[in-house]
Amino acid sequence: MAVRKLAPENMQPESFVLSAETEAFAEKEIAKYPPGRQASAVIALLTKAQEQAGGWLPRKAIEAVAARLDMPVIRVMEVATFYTMFNLEPVGKYFIQFCGTTPCVLRGAGDIKKVLERRVGDQNHVTADGTFSWLEVECLGACSNAPMVQINDDYYEDLTTENFEKLLDDLAAGRPVKVGSQIGRNRSEPFEAVNTLQDPALYDGSVVGAWRKRFEEQAKAAETGETAAAMASVPQEAKAAKPTAGRPIESDVADTPAKRAKEGEKPVSTADQKEAADSSKATKVEPKEAGAQPPPQSGKSYVASPKKEGQAVPASPTTPSAGTPPAQAETRRDGSESKPGVVVDKDNKSS
Ligand code: FES
C-alpha cells in the first residue's frame, strides 16, 4: 500500500464548511451515541464530508469534522489517513476501484488494468476532463463474478476488455449503464449452463425429508416390541456416580452452633467456652534445650549421625575430593570398582 498522506498544499481548498445537509446528517449520527461520546460518529461524518467535497478529504474538511465532534484534529487525521475508503487526493467524477486480487487476476483482471492504464493513465491520476481516476484495491468480495471494478458506489462485474471499454465510453458520454454483471447473469448464478443442484430428488422431499422415514421405522419397531427388548437390556439400577467424583464439594469443617444443631449435638456450654478461653489452662510448650535436635517428623530418621570430635567425614567412594584435579587423582575410576566381585589392582588388572 502506498504511503497515505494529505494532498499537496496547491491542491488544498482554502476553506471548507459543513453544508446544511451534512450538518443535519451529523446531528442524526451524533444522537446515536451517549452524551460525550460524539467521537464515535467520526467515520460517518468523514464519509459525508468526503461526499460533500467531491469524493476526497481536503485538510479543511478533516478540521471541520474535528471541530464538529470536539475532537483534536490529529485524532481525526489518524482515522482519515488509516482507512483507504477515504481519498486524500482529488478523484475523477467516476472513481474506479479496480480489484487486483488473485481470483480477479485469474479471470482476466490484468487485461482490465491495461485498459485503465491506456485510457485513464496511472493510478491516482485524474483525466484532464476530470471524468476518470482509478486505484487498485484488494478483493471487493465479488470474486464469483470476477473480474470486476467498483465505480463510485456500484459494482460492475464479469468484465471483458470489450464490455469494459463500452462501459467507460457510456459513462464518459453520460449514457445510462448497467450495474452488476455485464454479461447478463443474475447475481452470482452459474456462469454458463446450470449444471449443479439438478437432482429432482432434492426438490421432492425424498432427500431433505428422509428424517420422516426414520421416525416411521422407529415407530414400527416399537410396535413389534424391538424397542421393549432394547430397553430391557439397559440396566435399570444404574450406579450413581461418586458424590464428589473429583469435584470440590462444600463441607462443614468448622465446629459451629449451626453444624452441631444439624448433627443433633448439644451446643458448647458457656462454662466450656470460658474454660477454653482461659490462657492459664492452655497447653504449655516447654522451651528447647540449647543444641537439642528436633524430633524426627516420621518413623524414618533423616537426621545426620552426630560426629565424634576430630572425626573426618568419610569421603563418598564415588565423590572425588573437592579441589583435586582429575589428572592428579591417585587412582582413576572406570566404574569397575562398583561391580560386585571385581577387584582392580594397581596394575589395572582385574580378578
Ligand atoms: S478477488 Fe476480485 S472481488 Fe474478490
pLDDT mean across residues, the chain = 80
Which of 1-5, 32-36, 253-257 bottoms out in mean pLDDT, i.e. has the lowest? 253-257
d(CA 91, CA 134): 8
184: left (phi over 0), alpha (psi -120 to 50) or beta: left
What number does the ligand 1 atom closest to the CA of 142 have? 3
Long-range contacts of 295-302 (CB under 8 A, 24+ apart): none
Sign of the dihedral through C-alpha 157, 159, 162, 165: positive
Establish whether residue 39 lines the binding site of ligand 1, counting it when its CB lies within 6 angstroms of any ligand atom: no
Sheet holding 132-137, edge to edge: 132-137, 94-99, 149-151, 154-157, 180-181
> Given ligand 1 and candidates 97, 98, 104, 113, which is best to mutate, with the most ligand atoms within 8 Å of its CB?
104
What is the pLDDT, as a whole number, of residue 286?
Answer: 57
What is the pLDDT, as a whole number, of residue 342?
Answer: 41
> Given ligand 1 and candidates 107, 135, 139, which is best to mutate, with the most ligand atoms within 8 Å of its CB?
139
Establish whether residue 42 lines the binding site of ligand 1, counting it when its CB lies within 6 angstroms of any ligand atom: no
pLDDT in tens, 116-125: 999 999 999 9
Position 323 confidence tier, pLDDT thresholds 50, 70, 90:
very low
Cell 479471470 belongs to residue = 107
What number does the ligand 1 atom closest to the CA of 103 have? 1
Q: What is the DSSP letter of 189?
A: -
- Give the up-direction half-sphere exposure of residue 69: CA atoms within 13 A in the CB hemisphere: 31
User: Across-strand partners of 350?
Assistant: 344
How close is the Cα of 139 to the center of ligand 1, in Å?
Answer: 4
Which of 84-88, 114-118, 142-146, 273-277 bottoms out in mean pLDDT, i.e. has the lowest? 273-277
Task: Give start-end residues of each CATH 1.10.10.1590 domain in the chain.
Answer: 9-82
d(CA 116, CA 307): 98
CATH of the domain spanning 94-181:
3.40.30.10
How close is the Cα of 66 to the center of ligand 1, in Å?
Answer: 34
Reply yes or no on whether the pLDDT at 310 is more than 90.
no
Reply yes or no on whether the pLDDT at 95 is more than 60.
yes
What is residue 210's three-state secondary structure?
helix
What is the pLDDT, as a whole number, of residue 287?
Answer: 55
What is the pLDDT, as a whole number, of residue 277?
Answer: 74
DSSP string, 304-345: PPPPPTTPPPPPPTTSPPTT--GGG-SS---SGGGSTT--B-
Establish whether residue 148 lines the binding site of ligand 1, counting it when its CB lies within 6 angstroms of any ligand atom: yes
Reply yes or no on whether the pLDDT at 212 is more than 90.
no
User: In this structure, which topology does domain 9-82 adopt according to CATH?
Assistant: Arc Repressor Mutant, subunit A (1.10.10)
Establish whether residue 171 lines the binding site of ligand 1, counting it when its CB lies within 6 angstroms of any ligand atom: no
Per-residue HEC secondary structure of 40-104 comes to HHHHHHHHHHHHHCCCCCCHHHHHHHHHHCCCCHHHHHHHHHHCCCCCCCCCCCEEEEEECCHHH
Cα diameter, the chain: 116
Cell 560386585 belongs to residue = 340
Establish whether residue 26 lines the binding site of ligand 1, counting it when its CB lies within 6 angstroms of any ligand atom: no
CA-to-CA separations, 158 to 65, 118, 121, in angstroms, rounded: 38, 20, 22
Q: What is the DSSP letter of 235?
A: -
Position 324 confidence tier, pLDDT thresholds 50, 70, 90:
very low
Compare 41 and 185 and report the one with higher pLDDT. 41
Long-range contacts of 171-178 (CB under 8 A, 24+ apart): 171/94, 171/131, 171/132, 172/131, 172/132
How close is the Cα of 62 to the center of ligand 1, in Å?
Answer: 31
